[in-house]
Amino acid sequence: MPARIVIDNAKCAITRACRTDPLVQRAYAECAEGYGFRIDACPPGEPQLKGIVEAGVKYVKGNFVLAHALYSAPFALVGRRLWLRATDASVALYEDYRHVATHARALRAGERRTVRDHLPPDAARFLAHDRGWCEEQAVRIGQACATLVGRLLADRILERLRASLRQSGRIRS
Number of folded domains that form the chain: 3
Is 11 part of any domain? yes
| All residues at 6 or more sequence positions from 66 whose CB lies less than 8 Å from its CB, including other chains | 84, 86, 91, 106
- Whether residue 63 is predicted with pLDDT greater than 60 in this model: the reply is no
Q: Do residue 13 and residue 58 come from a single domain?
A: yes
Q: Do residue 59 and residue 72 come from a single domain?
A: no
What range does the domain containing 47 cover?
4-64
Is 120 part of any domain? no
Q: What is the mean pLDDT of residues 29-48?
A: 79
Is 124 part of any domain? no
Q: Give the Cα separation of 1 and 34 in Å (integer).
A: 11
- Nearest-10 crossing angle of helices 143-153, 131-141: 160
User: Is 116 in contact with 129 (CB distance < 8 Å)?
Assistant: no
pLDDT per position as a tens digit, 68-123: 888 999 999 999 999 988 888 999 999 988 999 999 998 888 888 988 889 888 88
Q: Do residue 56 and residue 81 come from a single domain?
A: no
Lowest mean pLDDT among 7-16, 45-54, 142-151: 45-54
